[in-house]
Amino acid sequence: MIEFGLTREPIDTEQWRRRMFDLTCGGYAAFEGWVRDHNEGQEVLRLEYEVYETLALSEGNKILAEAIERFGVTGAACVHRHGELRLGDVAVWVGVSAAHRDEAFKACRYVIDEVKIRLPIWKKEHYVAGDSGWVNCERCAAHGHAHETDRPRQPETAGV
């Protein structure tokens, strides 16, 4: 099973999980990104994800294929939600099944790390204080890329 999905509806993680079952697999690792109630000191009310669908689908499938090839896992799947999300919603789900747990963990981690860096998807946070912002973009531009230089990869943001 290899499948990458995008959806505006709530992610049915249990349905995705069930599709990973495989009798040759002894281990299953999963990750979920949840919309949390704060980010960098701001109270978050809700958020929006905007996605460049065609490219996100091809890039997402590429990431999954890489995970399978690099770590030799049996199945890898991922679904990312977009549109309007509320606190506690699942923004992204990743599932990996494998003969052994080591590969399952590594491949699952690889998928979410790459998704965060490579998938053409953007997040706008709406704050309790009333304002809103595209995560990374406006803030980094305004702060002279402080986030980018402080941290080697993508800054951690709400949703993970």
Partner 1 sequence: MKKIHVRYFALFRDQVGRDEETIETEASDPAGLYAELQARHDLGLGADRLKVAVNDEFTSWDRSLSDGDRIVFIPPVAGG
The one of partner 1, a copy of itself, none whose footprint includes residue 8, by CB under 5 to 8 A per kind, is: none
Structure token pair of residue 89 = 């919603």
Single out the segment in contact with a copy of itself by CB under 8 A; choices: 1-9, 48-56, 60-68, 105-113: 105-113
Q: Looking only at residues 126 through 145 of this chain, which bind partner 1 when binding is defined by CB under 8 A? A: 134-138, 140-141, 145
Q: Give 42's contacts (C-beta < 8 A, 6+ positions apart).
A: 125, 127, 128, 129
What interhelical angle do 101-118 and 53-71 show, nearest 10?
150
* Separation of alpha carbons 63 and 49, rounded Å: 20
**Site map for partner 1, 96-125, x if CB under 8 A?**
-----x----------x--xxxxxxxxxx-
Q: At which residue do the structure tokens 């599932």 appear?
A: 95
Residue of the chain from 92, 104, 107, 108 that contacts partner 1 (CB under 8 A):
92
Residue of the chain from 20, 29, 44, 91 that contacts partner 1 (CB under 8 A):
91
8 Å CB contact between 45 and 95: no
Structure token pair of residue 151 = 């941290």
Least CB distance to partner 1 at residue 30 (A): 14
Residue of the chain from 67, 104, 107, 121 that contacts a copy of itself (CB under 8 A):
104
Containing 5, the helix (H) or strand (E) segment is strand 2-7
Binding site for partner 1 (CB under 8 A): 33, 49-50, 52, 54-55, 58-59, 80, 91-92, 101, 112, 115-124, 134-138, 140-141, 145, 154, 157, 159-160
